[in-house]
Chain A
Amino acid sequence: MKLNTKRFIISILIASFFIYSVVIYTVGTRVDKGEKWITEQSRQGKLLFQKKNCIACHQIYGLGGFMGPDLTNVISALGKGPDFAKVILSNGTERMPNYHLSENEIDAFIAFFTYTDKTGISPVKDFNINYNGTVNWKDKNEKGN
């Protein structure tokens, strides 16, 4: 392969990387069905979620550790909900330590989980598989928007 050909291909790929990045940062991620639920409290809750390193054990959209459950829809899940989440956050469990969170912090967590719940579904349990290997599923949370 000639040197100029290599240089041409690498230039195209590097340019594609930067262009694609900008596209992802903007139009690729423009829609957020939970946008209405972004509040000062939910912002604070997200930062707390990071500061307490909750992702080491829990998942959001299936991403994170597997010690604890996925929390994307903990607010709307059958048998769970805000009160259930508050009890766990206040006391911990056999596997989760009690972080001695203040009322404000617990409310911030609940506001954050309310927001995550409105953005989509995880895990997806009800779906259709298409002939080309892609998958469709119904977004139950649209009713909340």
Chain B
Amino acid sequence: MYVYSALLKSILASLFLLSAGLYAEERAGQYQLAEKISSEALQSWNISIFPDGKNLPEGKGDHAEGKVLYDNLCMSCHGENGKGGIKLDPYRGNVETLVKSKNDTLVSDEPQKNIGTYWQYAPLIFDYIRRTMPYQAPKSLSNDEVYALTAYLLAENGIISKDTLVDKNNLAKIKMPNVDGFICDNRIDTKSAPCMKNCPLPGEKEFNQWIKIDNKDYLKSDCLVMPEIKF
């Protein structure tokens, strides 16, 4: 009897909580199914490195150390000096070039997307190498080794000098050439009415009158927005 009335009370209480429309924080632990974990105990999984350098670990590395690691661990796929590698997957062409060549540009019929021309924030290089590389043994590098490879790639791309020692204090301050190269999703960027009879076709004069471009109607809520970083 006691059990039933306790159950009833808890049901009534949860109904009250729901109907009161309380904040999510006050629904915490509603189901009592999770284990709590301390900040220390989750550190081995806490690997996100943010554009402002948040969560970068202790450690340091430079171009010279990075070159040794690159030649041993990365070159077999990414090519000499990061300038283009082997063709692995027929869907995607060659393994991407990591390092910008002199004439590489995004404004071309064959745009060259690499760290030097395209990547947005320097800490992303550290984040990606540490979580995914080397391909055959991800997460096998020390933080010093990841800093060294990051320094190597930044220096080979001409973004920092070869004698720069990269660490948690200066990595986020390195300004990437393409940091302002991105705009938020502003689709839908095509608009047309569903014409049913005697419809104009692409390339016909009437077609251009029929379609209207209107990109005001987009989902701002999806935008990735980074507060301004002082480089």
**Are A and B interaction partners?**
no
